[in-house]
Each structure stands twice: as C-alpha cells, then as structure tokens.
Amino acid sequence: MTTQTSTTPIKVYMIGNNPIDVSDIYQKLKDYASDSFHTEYGFDLKKAFKHILKSRPSCVLIDDNIGHPIMQKFMAKLSTHKDTQDIPVAVLKNSNYRESGAVLATDYILKEGLSADSLRKLIFRTIRFKKMHLMFIKSYRKGKRRIHTIIGR
C-alpha cells in the first residue's frame, strides 16, 4: 500500500447499486476542499473487482444496498486475493440494526446524516487501521519465524 501525501490524490473506489446514493457520496468527496480525492465508482461487482485489481485504490467504499450474500462473497474475494487483500474496505450502512456484510470490512459508517467531514474521517481511519493491521501481521510472522529458528523447527 502506498503512502499518501497532501499533493497525491487519495484513490477511492465506490460500489453501489443505487445511482442516487453513489452520486451523493461522490459529490461529498468532490466538494471536500482540504483533501484531494480521486473517486471512481461502479455498479457491477465483476467489473468492480477487475477495476480494483487494475487501479489499486487506497480505499474501497461499498454500499450495503447491494445485498448481504453478494457483498459477503465480494468482500471475501477481496480479502483473500493476493493483489487486493491489503486494500481497506469500508461499508456504508443503512441501519445498525440489520445484519450486513460489514463483517469482513475494515470499518463502516451509517449513511444517515453522513457529512463530507465524517466520510473523509472514515476513509482516513480505514486506511490507517488497515496499515496498522498489515504491520501487525508482518511483525507477528517475523517473530514466529525467529521463535521457530531458536527452537530448531
């Protein structure tokens, strides 16, 4: 995952099935003046996966309107594929009461009352958490190898 600077636009890829919701979120990111977001969006999950492989976004936002089983499959594919497992995923949820595919997500936020500032914070928090998670895994594996070397495995 690449480190973002203040001059480098943060690449965000949004996935949803409702053009009105997607365009609203797109506009919030576009209007946010202090950070530069390069935002793309898609409505078809097969094309979305190919696009994510090709463009390597800094963060993926998924609207939970696409449906629980479909989102679960898609997120499982993202989290297990060697070229996408390091990309953080955030879910935009309609409700906190109904189950969604947010289980495999790095983070989530409720769409109700979503502002440009809260969306920006979600993106940065999601990216930061995923980087921390990847560093933890790397440290764990390195420590595990050292222990195996010491005990002669």
* CATH number of the domain residue 134 falls in: 3.40.50.2300
Tell me, yes or no, whether 5 lies in a domain. no
Tell me, yes or no, whether 4 lies in a domain. no
Query: Is 90 exceeded by the pLDDT of residue 20?
Result: no
Report whether 129 contacts 121 (CB < 8 A): no
Q: What's the average model confidence in pLDDT over 115-122?
A: 88
Q: Is residue 115 very low, low, confident or very high in pLDDT (cuts 50, 70, 90)? A: confident
Tell me, yes or no, whether 88 lies in a domain. yes
Domain enclosing residue 48, as ranges: 10-151
Tell me, yes or no, whether 135 lies in a domain. yes
Query: How many other C-beta atoms can be found within 10 angstroms of the C-beta atom of residue 105?
Result: 23
Reported pTM: 0.78
Tell me, yes or no, whether 19 lies in a domain. yes
What's the domain count of the chain? 1
Q: What's the average model confidence in pLDDT over 16-44?
A: 83
Longest pairwise C-alpha distance within the chain: 60
Tell me, yes or no, whether 1 lies in a domain. no
- Residues 44-60 pLDDT 10s: 888 999 999 999 999 99
Q: List C-alpha distances in Å: 77 to 18, 48, 74, 81, 103.
A: 22, 12, 5, 6, 13
Tell me, yes or no, whether 98 lies in a domain. yes
Query: Is 90 exceeded by the pLDDT of residue 101?
Result: no
Beta bridge partners of 63: 92
Query: Is 70 exceeded by the pLDDT of residue 9?
Result: yes
CA-based nearest residue to 119, from 78, 83, 150, 90: 90
Tell me, yes or no, whether 99 lies in a domain. yes
The fraction of the chain above a pLDDT of 70, given in percent, is 87
